[in-house]
Every structure is written in C-alpha cells, then in structure tokens.
Amino acid sequence: PPLSEILNLHDFEAIARQIMPEKAWAYYSSAADDEITSRENHAAFHRIWFRPRILRDVTNVDWSTTILGHPSSMPIYVTATALGKLGHPDGELNLTRAAARHGIIQMIPTLSSCSFDELVDAAQPGQAQFFQLYVNKDRAITKRIVQHAEKRNIKALFITVDAPQLGRREKDMRMTFDAADPHEIGKSGGGQVDRSRGAAKAITGFIDPGLKWADIPWFKSITKVPIVLKGVQTWEDALEAYDQNLAGVVLSNHGGRQLDFARSGIEVLVEVTEKLKEKRGITFPNNRFQLFVDGGVRRATDVLKAVALGATAVGIGRPFLYAFSTYGVDGVDHALQILRDEFEMNLRLLGSQTIKDVVPAMVDASNIHTH
C-alpha cells in the first residue's frame, strides 16, 4: 500500500510480516523463549492512564527536548539494532538519513551492517549520534573502538549490559545464516562466526561474559564521552550506576530478546524513580543522571507516559526496522512524521505546552505492577 495509508507504527509491522524476506523477519521480530517479555513490553503501557488538564491554552505546543545535552525534536531516539542490511540494501543509512530530516539522535550499533565510519560520514553537520558498545573479550579491541568513536565525535557511549550470553530466539534459530545473505557485519564486531543457528548466534561470539562493575572505571579512563548502561532492570543496579557517576541508564530488556520474564522498562522506571528518590534524594528528569526506557514503544502516548514518570527520552527499535524494510528511508521518515503528529495532538489533549509540563501528576500508574 502507499505510505499515505500507513496510519500508525503498528501498520509497518503488519506489512513487514507479509513482505519481508523470511530470515530478516525472523531476526527482527524474534524474542527470547516464549516471547512473554516481548509481548509484555507493549502491554505494560496499557496499565498506565492519563490525568489530562484542561483550559491551559494549547494553541502552541512544543515537544522538543534535550538528550544528554543534545537537542532532539522529540523525546525519542533511534535505538541500536544490528544487521540493518537484512531488511534493506541501505541498512542503517536509512536511519541516519531519516534521523537527520527530523532532528533526532541515532544510536549506532556495534553490529551495524554498514560500517561505523559510513554512518558517521552520512550524518549532517550538527547531527548528534550515539554509539552502542558490545564489549569485546579483547579489551584492546574495545579500547580502539571506543577511542575511534570519540574521535569521530560520538556524543555518548551506551554499553549494553544485558547480553553476556545471547538469549534463545527460536524463530531466528530455525534459520541458517550463510555467506550469501545480504549483510555485512560492521568491522567493529570481529571474532568467530557460527553460521549454523540463526543470525543472532552467528555474530555475537566475541561479547565478554566476564564484564563486571569493577570494569567501569577502566571505561571512564579510556574516554571522556558520557557513559550510559543499556539494559538495567532493577533499582539496585540503577543506584550503583548513579553512585559510579555514570551519565544514565537505559531501563530495557533488549526488546524481550534476552531474559524471558524480565519486566518491561516502563515498569522498572517506576521503581527506579521511587527508590533513587528515597535513597539519594534525586528526582527525575535531571541533568546529572538521566533515565531512558526502551521496549514496546509504538505511540507518542507510550513515550509521554515514560516522560511523565521521569524518563528523559525513549528508544524505539523494531518499528523503524520494519519501516525501512518495507519503504526504505521514506518509511522511517513517515514513521517519524506519524510520531510528530501524535506528539502535537497528545500534548494538546493532555493540556501540556511543553515536555517539561508532562509531570508525574499527569499519569495514574497505580496499577502498573498489576496484571
């Protein structure tokens, strides 16, 4: 169908399921084990309700914000997703280009299909990019990757901490991944390739399961770029990250692709803001330690719920993959335009002129932990 018939982010998924190559669909859509967490990620947003305010002059509304000090036209960013060329020959370049058009930030994955430098070179002047790091067992390689990213003006380093071993994604495992597949693994990954059990397994053998809290000072010693941990799932670990002076955490379960029955990021957000206030007197959002959420975000209302509960911004993964796999860069462009329009309307209906006006009292999250 023409793009004009795509009315929301769910529509891209429905079309992608029908027309994407089987292997690409299996890799993008798959999640761990019985995919309970994957489904729960979106469902959890359904347990939060709004408390909109009225009569507040919403003629002009502004949904722009800043993320780790960098302007963003919306409180969202493109999160890191590997192997963009499985879905489209231009791979992650589709995301870089659409992010430029809309003034939002892209997180470049370690396992991008396009090379890291290609994605940095494709950015417009002033377009901020983040880098997602999988930590290599060989720390000399990791050091080289991080310092190269810093030299190329990457604005923040997101270290993925929820994947010491790969989750079991059975849809993907039923596919074999051979040399003829239309992908190129970014040079940063390296290591052995096992092609017999799906795309995911084929590319992740280099990741270090030995990574530990005591390694954090080393990362700080090799770079001045702000460091955020991606994949925090409890207030205890969020508190540790805060105490280690990191720039923030992403409350995420990797799109349900790692530990099945991990809770949704939005649910974890509620306990993190409560406990960090209780233990350290800190409130959110603030500039010293920022909270991000990803997983199951499909509507601006999902984003606004997270923002109301203290998140600085929210990451979106699969919807953009489905958008470029079906319509290339124009698909991602259209997905971002849909979100833009949703932000405008929903801010008005909430009675908020700006993102700063989307405060905790605008949501009722009292049933977030109940099913």
Which of 109, 167, 310, 328 is close enough to bind ligand FNR by CB under 6 A?
A: 109
Residues facing 62 on adjacent strands: 354
Residue in the shown chain whose Cβ atom is closest to ligand FNR: 317
Nearer to ligand FNR, 61 or 86 (CB): 86
Distance (Å, whole) CA 302 – CA 46: 9
Using CB under 6 A as the binding rule, whether residue 129 contacts ligand FNR is answered as no
**Active-site residue among 27, 28, 77, 134?**
134
Q: Least CB distance from residue 42 to ligand FNR, whole Å?
A: 7
Exposed/middle/buried for residue 243 (C-beta within 10 Å: 0-12, 13-18, 19+): exposed
Using CB under 6 A as the binding rule, whether residue 127 contacts ligand FNR is answered as no
Which of 24, 78, 80, 211 is close enough to bind ligand FNR by CB under 6 A?
A: 80
In the three-class reduction of DSSP (H, G, I as helix; E, B as strand; rest coil), residue 205 is classed as coil
**Residues 78 and 95 sit within 8 Å (Cβ to Cβ):** yes
Active site residue 134: yes
Residues facing 70 on adjacent strands: 67
Tell me the two tokens of residue 322. 């489905």
**Listed ranges 66-74, 76-84, 176-184, 282-290: which one lies at the site for ligand FNR (CB under 6 A):** 76-84
Active site residue 254: yes
Tell me the two tokens of residue 340. 């833009």
Exposed/middle/buried for residue 234 (C-beta within 10 Å: 0-12, 13-18, 19+): middle
Active site residue 242: no
Residue labelled with tokens 């109301």: 308
Nearer to ligand FNR, 334 or 353 (CB): 334
Distance (Å, whole) CA 318 – CA 327: 14
Using CB under 6 A as the binding rule, whether residue 311 contacts ligand FNR is answered as no
Q: Least CB distance from residue 167 to ligand FNR, whole Å?
A: 10
DSSP symbol at 354: B
Using CB under 6 A as the binding rule, whether residue 255 contacts ligand FNR is answered as yes
- Binding residues with ligand FNR: total (CB under 6 A): 25
Nearer to ligand FNR, 285 or 295 (CB): 295
Return the active site residues: 134, 162, 254
